[in-house]
Every structure is written in structure tokens, then in C-alpha cells.
Amino acid sequence: MVKRDSHETIPESVSSRAEEDSHNDVQEQMHTAERQSFLELTRSIAGLPLEQSAAALETSAAIAAVSLRAAIEFLHAIPVAAEVLQPAELRSWGELGRRIAMSDFEAAVSFFAYGVEGLRSLPRTLHPLIFQLCSRQMILSSAVGRDTFRNVPPIVTAIADSELSHSLLEVAAEISRRSAKHSSEFLNATQSVARSLKDFHDATVTAKALELAAAFAARAGGIAADAWTALPEALSELKPADALRLMGCANDFLERGGGAALHILLSGSEILRRAPEIFDDWIDLLWTVGAHGNASLVAFVRCSPRFIRLLSAEADRARGVELSRRVIRLTKEIAAIDGEAALASFRSSARARAFPSNSSKRGRAVVSLQFVSIRARVAATSRSKRGAVMKHCTAAVTVSPSTPCSTCSGSTSKR
């Protein structure tokens, strides 16, 4: 019971009903005020061109079905937004806010209050792409789409190249079909990548990079963001001709998957920096290995940097290049028969070449014997025994580099 004074009490149920009625009255008054404000705002846009007025009214009605407050904020922003956006773009902007309102009314109100002032300084040709990108992102994540709408204008302004920005937005929109997060990461990396490409002072390199990014986006989706982010490191210290070779080969290997192409982009850049003479031989080897599956291909690519670093340690560069070519050639012959055997041989060659300089001749001789032995043995051994043969040959090189593998010596002598 609720006491009114010392002589009278009121039942609690009566008090709660009174409070509820009072709350409902306040809510009704607020809704009435919002409706009146909404009607007044719809009258205020009558001075706009017919197409823009129609777009604003139709879109505000759709937003009001979700959130009346968001619709009112949208109408508040219309007079300024109409100076920047075309009728179709007004509809697209309102649709973005409506999607946000479906999950968060307050966020939608803030979105419309933020406005479209950031788009005023951008070329109008970019507006449709920006709305397309944000719309696709919001299907997957409204938060990512909202952030992208705010982040794109400063990114485009920093790039200061409308054609490049147009191409980048097209790639980001393609990535957003599969991943909102990766398309956002792609955009966030564009400034550093654009600076790296401009350092070449070669429009062909920039065009090839955009072609590669578009191919990654179409074939590998989100991996395009990883490849785009890796470009500055991959192209660092390369000549324009070598950069074009690298990106061209990575593009070709996309048929083997985005992961394989990304590894080739990273490992291939190191080979081009340290020993560009063997790059084409290395690529030919990878095509041969790739016939056995992506697992073998990626394993080869990942162990290639170690192989090339040992080449750099050779005192005589010409002899080191010749030795590397011989190793790659023999590995390619083995790979035509068995991918696992070729991988084991390639890895063991790096270990054999790691001996001190005073035993370099011995190491090179063992490498040659190792490859010939394994190649002959693989050709003559059934598939079920190849693993044991490879393990034995690799152990022979590791433990006793100066002694030929006894298991394979017979095959070697016959050859």
C-alpha cells in the first residue's frame, strides 16, 4: 500500500496504473511531436527539384517504417545533401541509413547527422562506386559499411588520382561480394601501396598492379587484400621490368589458387632481388611441380627463399648461379616423375650447400650425385618404396656429405 497521509492509503496497483498511464501519455505526446516535425520537414523540401523531392519523400517513408527518428534526421540533412548527390544517390544514401536503422536506431541517426559533406570534393564519377561498395558491405556488416562511407573520402583525397581511385573502388567492390572485412582492409592499404607504385614512375607497373589486384579479387576474394597489402614489400628494390615479370607470373599462377599465387609473389620477389638470372628457371620448375597438386607447389615456393639465400653466400657468384641452375634443372626432371621426391631433393640440396667454403667443391659434387641418384632410383622404384628411398638419400647427404648414398650408388653407376 502507498500512504497518501496519516489517515488514508492508496493500493499499489492503482499507483502503478497511474504511472503507466502517465508514461503512455508522454510517449504519445513525443510521437505526436515527431509526426508533426516529420510533416513539417516534408513540406520544407518542396523547394527542391522535382526528382530530388520525390527521391527524398519516397526514401524517408521507407526509413520511417523502421525508425521515425532516423527519417526525421534524414529529412533534416536533405537540403545540404541535395547539393552534393543526384536523386539516385539520395536514394542509395537513404537506403544505407535504413539498413543501419534495422539493427541500431541511434547509429542511423548519427549516420544521417554526419551527412555527405565528405563527398563534396570527390569527382561525381566516384559516387556510384562508393554507394555500391558500402551497400554490398552492409549486407554482411553494417558497421563495416558505415566506417567505409566515412573513410573513403580522405583515402581518395590522399591518393589524388581519380582514375586510380576509380579502379581501386572497383576492386574493393568486387572483394566486398565475399568479405566486407577484407574489402575494408584492401582500402586501408591503398595509400601505402599507391605511394609504392608511384615510386616506379612507370604507368605500366601501376596498371599491372591493378590488373593483378582485380584478378585476385575475382578469383580468390579476400586473399586480394593480403596480396595488395604485400605489394610494397614484394616490389621493394625491384626494377620496373622485374616488377612486371613478378606480377605477371603471380597472375598466371592464380589458376592454381590465391594462396599459391600469394606465396609466389613473396618468394619470387626475393629471387628477383638476389638472383634474377634463375627466376625463369624457377618458374618453369614450379609449373612442373604444380602438376602434382597445390600442396607440393606451396611447399616448393616456401622453401625457395632458403635455397636462394645460400646462393647469395657463394663467394663466386657465377659458379653459384650455374650450380643453382643445375639443381633446378635436375629437380625439374625428378618432379616430372614424382613431386615428393623432387621436394626432398630440393630441400636436401640447400643443406648440402650449407657446408663451409673449404668444402664447397665436395658439397657441389654431392648435390649432383644426390640428384642423379634419386632421379634414377625414383624411375626404377615402385611408388610404395619411394618414401623410404628418399628418406635414406636425404639422411646420407646430411650425415656424410662426402660419401655417396649407398642405396642409390648402383643406379648412379648404371647411368
pLDDT higher than 90, residue 27: no
Q: Indicate the pTM of the whole model.
A: 0.74
Asked if the model's pLDDT at residue 348 lies above 50, the reply is yes
Given a contact cutoff of 8 angstroms between Cβ atoms, the answer to whether 127 and 162 are in contact is no
| More confidently predicted of 3 and 241 | 241
Ranking 2-16, 30-44, 68-82, 306-320 by mean pLDDT, the lowest is 2-16
> What percentage of the chain carries pLDDT values higher than 90?
50
In a domain, residue 106? The reply is yes
Residue 294 lies in a domain: no
pLDDT tens profile 225-252:
999 999 999 999 999 999 999 999 999 9
Is residue 281 one of the residues assigned to a domain?
Answer: no
- Helix (H) / strand (E) element for 3: namely strand 2-3
Domain residues for the domain of 98 are 22-120
The confidence score (pLDDT) of residue 318 equals 81
Alpha helices by DSSP H, listed for 236-357, are 240-252, 258-274, 279-290, 294-312, 317-335, 339-352
**Which among 78, 99, 120 is the end of a domain?**
120
Which is more confidently placed, 152 or 32? 152
- Residue 329 lies inside a defined structural domain of this protein: yes
For CA atoms 323, 325, 330, 331, the dihedral sign is positive
Choosing from 77, 95, 120, the residue where a domain stops is 120
Least confident of 19-23, 76-80, 238-242, 392-396: 392-396
- Non-local (6+) Cβ contacts of 25 within 8 A are none
3-state secondary structure (DSSP) of residue 2: strand
- Report yes or no on 72 lying in a domain: yes
Q: In terms of Cα–Cα distance, which of 386, 314, 394 is closest to 354?
A: 314
66 found inside a domain: yes
How many Å apart are CA 275 and CA 19, to the nearest integer?
Answer: 83
The set of cell numbers assigned to 284 is 618453369
How much is the average pLDDT of 321-350?
83
Burial of residue 3 (number of CB atoms within 10 Å: 0-12, 13-18, 19+): exposed
> C-alpha distances in angstroms, 266 versus 219, 228, 243, 284?
19, 11, 12, 17
User: How many structural domains compose the chain?
Assistant: 2
Q: Tell how far CA 199 is from the center of its chain.
A: 22
Burial letters for 294-322: b for 16+ Cβ neighbours within 10 Å, e otherwise? eebbbbbbeebbebbebbeebeeeeebbe
Is residue 244 in some structural domain?
Answer: no
Match 592464380 to its residue by C-alpha cell. 254
Out of 101, 120, 139, a domain closes at: 120
* 328 assigned to some structural domain: yes
Task: List, for residues 351-362, the tens digit of each pLDDT value.
Answer: 655 444 444 544
Residue 339's pLDDT is what? 83
